[in-house]
Every structure is written in structure tokens, then in C-alpha cells.
Amino acid sequence: MPAESPLRLAIFASGRGSNALSIIRAAKEGRLSRVEPVLVVCDKPGAPVATRSREEGVPVLEIRPRDFDSKDAYEGAILEHLREKSVDAVALAGYMRLVGPVLIGSFPDRILNIHPSLLPSFPGLAAQKQAIDYGVKMTGVTVHFVDLLMDHGPVIMQKCLPILPEDTEESLSRRLLPIEHEAYLESLDALSRGRLRIEGRRVLWSAD
Ligand code: GRF
């Protein structure tokens, strides 16, 4: 891809959409100057992320997995839309399902995810509550490449945050959210500038 052409990004989301909106706005405002969000894929028709993304002028594909016979068929249908929009990479942003072989195979090392813990600790749902319940004193966020396992692929970036004695799941989630947004923008910017190289499980960053 020539350096000057923007990375055509699809964002997959299921709910509120704060990460999706943060990416869309950053791209619009030139803070993510080499990323162009071209499609939002929402597996929960009617979710706030769908409305909010349309309001920002990004097309939304609302698509329900249960309308398909299999996961492969569901992802195959999504893939057609991604191809139609010449999508280069995918950002999962609160997409509440595992990505399968159809999409992973079509976008090798081009699908990213954000997770609200320091992986490999606390993968899966309610990561903030898992961290509080375990009693760790530090937690954070992880941006990683996506493979077939849950919250598992090579780590691109992590940012830390102390857990306070008075933290609840809600307060910790609220304090982590701006850090999620920041880490995702920095990671996508690096991806769009060709700065990320994967060696085994390690992601190496080159200078800009
Ligand atoms: C975020 O905490 C993200 O890390 C997790 O799901 C949440 C989605 O929030 N995977 P939002 O929809 O981006 O506001």
C-alpha cells in the first residue's frame, strides 16, 4: 500500500460504541490522519453504536448472526461488504463475539482488539470486575492482534492504571475508558504508518 493512501478501516461493535466513536472522531479531526473509517459492522441491530456512527456519517452494516445457518455463513456475508468497501483492516471495539476462520483468514494480522485488562490476565467478560475480585493492585488495557483464541493474539500496546481501594467495577471501568481510547488511537496510528511488525508473539515497533 503506498504510504499516502489511508488505511481503510472497518470497526466491529456490539453496544455503546465509545471506542468506535473515538476512532471515527479522531480520524475526522486529523488526529488519526492515515485512517479512514469506511464501515461500522454491528451484530446487534439497534445498538447505540449504529445510530452514533451514522450520525458521524459512517455507513453501518447491521447484521444478525442468527439470520445465518452458521458462523462461516455470517462472516462470509460480512466479508462481501468488507471487500465491497476495500477494507484494509478491522478494529474490534466492544464486539461481543469471537472472530472465526473466515474473517481471520481474509485479514491475517489485520484485525485488532481492545481489552480492558493487562492480558493474559483476565480475558473474557467483565475484565474490570475480575481484576478487582482477584485483588490485583494494577490493571490496564491491552490492544492486540486477533487470532482464533479469545483475547489472545500478539500484544501491540498496554497501558497501566492502579486499582484504588474504593474502586468498584463501575468506577474502574470509567477510569479505564479514556485509556482504552488513547491506546487504540496510538495503535491504529502505528498500524496505519506501517510501524508494526510481528515476530512470533512479539510485536515490534519501528520508528515513524
Ligand atoms: C470496552 O471496555 C472494550 O474494551 C470492551 O468492551 C467495552 C466496549 O465499550 N471490549 P464501547 O462500546 O467501546 O464503549
Instruction: Please determine, for residue 133, whether its predicted confidence score (pLDDT) is greater than 70.
Output: yes
The pLDDT confidence band at residue 119, using thresholds 50, 70 and 90, is very high
Active site residue: 115, 144, 152, 181, which one?
Answer: 115
The CA 18 to ligand 1 mean position distance, Å, reads: 7
Instruction: Please determine, for residue 30, whether its predicted confidence score (pLDDT) is greater than 60.
Output: yes
Which tens digits make up the pLDDT trace of 171-195? 999 999 999 999 999 999 999 999 9
Q: Would the pTM of this model clear 0.95, i.e. be above it?
A: yes
The CA 94 to ligand 1 mean position distance, Å, reads: 4
144 is catalytic: no
On whether the CB atoms of residues 102 and 134 are closer than 8 A, the answer is no
In the chain, % of residues over pLDDT 90: 98
Distance CA 12, CA 43 (A): 8
Residue nearest to ligand 1 atom 2, measured at CA: 116
CATH for 1-108, among 3.40.640.10, 3.90.100.10, 3.30.1780.10, 3.40.50.170?
3.40.50.170
The pLDDT confidence band at residue 166, using thresholds 50, 70 and 90, is very high
Q: Cα dihedral sign for 42, 45, 50, 55?
A: positive
Domain with CATH 3.40.50.170 in the chain: 1-108, 114-208
Q: What would the grid cell of residue 33 be?
A: 490522519
Average pLDDT over residues 63-73: 98
| CATH level 2 (architecture), domain 114-208 | 3-Layer(aba) Sandwich (3.40)
Please list every protein residue whose CB sits less than 6 Å from any atom of ligand 1.
13, 15-19, 93-94, 114-116, 180
The CA 134 to ligand 1 mean position distance, Å, reads: 21
